[in-house]
Amino acid sequence: MHAPSKAIPASTVAGAASRSLARPAVPETAFGKHFWLTYLANTTMMVAVSLLFRYADYVKLHGGGELELGQIVGIGMVGSLLVRLAQGVGIDRYGPRLIWLLSILLFVLSCLGHLFVNDLHAPWVYAWRIAMQTAVAGFFGSSITFISGRAPVHRVAEVVGTLGTSGFVGMAIGTHLGDWLFTRSRDWTTADAVQAMFIIAAAVSGLSLVASWFATRSHAVRKGRRRPAVGRLLARYHPGVLLLVAVAMGFGLSLPATFVRPYAQELHISRIGLFFTIYPLTAFIMRLATARVPGRWGIRVMILTGMFLITLSMPMFLLVRQPAHLIIPALFLGAAHASLFPSVVAGGSGAFPRRHRGLGTTLVLAMFDLGNLIGAPTVGLLLHTAKCMGLAAYPTMFVVVACLLGACGLLYAMLSRNVPLPPGRKPAAA
């Protein structure tokens, strides 16, 4: 028998509505016009972001290797991490629209700014990378907050998960576009391809600006409400051990975007589009197939599944010998992404009241950035150290990373046993 659902008192609903920042109130359907415009905005932005998965070619063009790549990407995440909480407060105070649109403009500027930097040791390359990651953080933090704020709390994971499929579509398109740019002609030099990569990324993100404008143009923000201190909110509503998972998720899921390209080069594989097609396709199918699982069984099931899959994905890279073998780790990582990201974001966002979901969302994404900040330099240093010691660099790195992720998964499994589910996510009785 299924446990009877508990009715929510009308006074509670009315109180939640009066406290909501955004007007109009949450619509009856979470998948209306605003959702699909946001979906389009996310897709086009992700095309631009995934086109830059060949950032390693930019670093190599200017004489850098994995160590420099890890340093630039890691330091770039410092900016993203530092502004995350400020963005969360800004989203809650001014609404997601303003932060969203400004973030796209900053992304365009950061892409174009890279065209004028030729020295990897100059501060400008770090400044533009910080600006780029800050913009990406603001964009996705705003879009997720906007959509999750329009959804009932028990459907947040479903809505965020469905929106996330836009990223998978954009990832597939962007990486194939990158492959085409860098292999299109013998007369097309690497320098030409790198320049075109940044220009096209800026242009495509301009399309995202248009879609974002129309998605949010009717969005209004209530002003004048006194807001408690951020520290007090974090102390009261933080999702606890879920933050550890967000860090591990950032460490593991950000690795392919930075290091699959140089790993493929070491194996004499020129195209990475196959990996970044199977990855999002698997995630897309997995996410649609499990969209209602968090609402029925809780996010813990999805998180444990995701941590298991992301841990296994690392040694799967060791099986790669030719282009077709990239399918194997892509399958595991795609399934892990689909299991982890919407559940972790929903858990973090749902721990906060609706009027503070911007802060809750950005807190989780800040932990994701922290994982990236730790991960990129760590992986770069592991590769550099392994080479200096005469070890097989990438196999050593993948084994070490798998051990770290597995340890985080076990720790979460032990610490989350007695953590109650957020309201609206109680599993059905057997």
- Tokens 């929106």, located at residue: 163
Cα distance between residue 153 and residue 149, in whole Å = 9
pLDDT value of residue 115 = 95
pLDDT value of residue 312 = 96
Which CATH number goes with the domain that contains 360? 1.20.1250.20
pLDDT tens string, the chain, 430 residues long: the values are: 444 444 434 333 333 333 333 333 444 456 778 888 999 999 999 999 999 989 999 999 998 888 889 889 888 888 777 767 677 667 777 778 888 899 999 999 999 999 999 889 889 999 999 999 889 988 987 888 787 776 666 666 677 777 878 888 898 899 999 999 888 766 778 899 999 999 999 999 999 999 999 988 876 555 545 566 666 777 676 677 888 999 999 999 989 888 998 999 899 998 888 999 999 889 888 888 887 777 677 788 889 999 999 999 999 999 999 999 999 999 999 999 988 988 888 777 766 776 676 677 778 888 888 898 898 889 999 999 999 999 999 999 999 999 999 999 999 999 877 655 444 444 333 2
- Tell me the sheet residues that pair with 221: 22
pLDDT value of residue 19 = 39
Asked whether 148 and 341 are in contact (CB, 8 A), the reply is no
Q: Answer whether residue 65 is part of any domain.
A: yes
The secondary structure of the chain in percent helix, strand, coil, rounded to multiples of 5, reads 75, 0, 20
Q: Answer whether residue 5 is part of any domain.
A: no
pLDDT value of residue 235 = 66
Cβ neighbours of residue 404 closer than 8 Å, sequence gap 6 or more: 248, 251
Short-list 5, 16, 12, CA closest to 426? 5
pTM of the complete model = 0.71
pLDDT value of residue 320 = 95
Q: Quote the distance between the C-alpha of residue 212 and its chain's center.
A: 18
Q: Answer whether residue 210 is part of any domain.
A: yes
380: its two tokens:
């770069």
Q: Answer whether residue 114 is part of any domain.
A: yes
Q: Answer whether residue 15 is part of any domain.
A: no
Q: Identify the domain containing residue 341 by its residue range.
A: 33-221+236-415
Q: Answer whether residue 273 is part of any domain.
A: yes
Q: Answer whether residue 3 is part of any domain.
A: no
Give the sign of the dihedral formed by CA 292, CA 297, CA 300, CA 305: negative
Cβ neighbours of residue 241 closer than 8 Å, sequence gap 6 or more: 411, 412, 415, 416, 419
pLDDT value of residue 110 = 96
Q: Answer whether residue 16 is part of any domain.
A: no
pLDDT value of residue 150 = 67
Cβ neighbours of residue 10 closer than 8 Å, sequence gap 6 or more: none
pLDDT value of residue 360 = 75
Number of domains forming the structure of the chain? 1
Q: What is the greatest pairwise CA distance in the chain?
A: 69
